[in-house]
Amino acid sequence: MISIKTLEEIEIMAQGGQILAKIMRELKDKVSPGLTTQELDRLASELILNYGAESAFKNYRSFPAALCTSVNEQIVHGVPSDRRLLDGDILSLDLGIVYNGFNSDMAVTVPVGTVDPEIGRLIRVTKKSLKRAIARTKSGKTIGDIGHAIQGYVENQDFHVVRDLCGHGIGKQLHEKPDIPNFGQRHKGELLKLGMVLAIEPMVVIGQPKIKKGPDGFVYQTADGSISAHFEHTVAVTAKGPRVLTE
């Protein structure tokens, strides 16, 4: 069953989303060659505590950290480590918090130093595909409309969407119904209704979209070793149209 939020609950989620966005900005500003992903996780944990929130990810399904840090061919759920970032890497940061009983979820991909122009284009395309998907997050549209907006734009740019991972509903639980695939057909799938809150998260690769589990048992990465980017916002379906709660 899909959870429908009240206006009051959406306001609480917006407060948490604004906190999450502030934390993410601080993390992005720290990204530079030589930094370890473990150092970013420690900072994320400190900031979550300072803002009066809780980590949504730490210990969720045994995940050992507050922040997911996925580098280069890693798509999502990368575990922070003593790995040092190198000039030319790209880093996907995925962070969730719980504030006043409600979850919010957000991801960005950040270039480390100077990246290859095609990798820079991958980041821009992935970010723009999310913007296009958000524009379709309206009452009366469908889950297929969201996926179609992402897939159509990404494939027109000669990249591929990851099909084996998806976005999700969100609220009192981190992962709620419905699933939000990054591909689809217009007018197909679950109808969007006022009060639905969705975590929309395109994951886009330069190479082939086939994925595999990494050696740590948590991270998903491209099977062919090609570079991946990931963006995510928590979005509410409201009478005034889509409302991005994590900005």
pLDDT at 216: 86
Average pLDDT over residues 187-211: 97
Task: Decide: pTM greater than 0.85.
Answer: yes
How much of the chain, in percent, has pLDDT values that exceed 70? 100
pLDDT value at residue 1: 87
Instruction: Say which residues have a Cβ less than 8 Å from residue 10's Cβ, sequence separation at least 6.
Output: 195, 197, 236, 238, 243, 245
Nearest Cα to Cα of residue 203 among 122, 134, 117:
122
Compute the mean pLDDT over every residue in the chain, rounded to the nearest whole number: 97
Token digits of residue 122? 């991958």
Domain 7-239 has CATH 3.90.230.10: yes
Q: How confident is the model at residue 215 (pLDDT cuts 50, 70, 90)?
A: confident
Write out pLDDT tens, residues 67-105.
999 999 999 999 999 999 999 999 999 999 999 999 999
CA 231 to chain CA centroid, Å, is 5
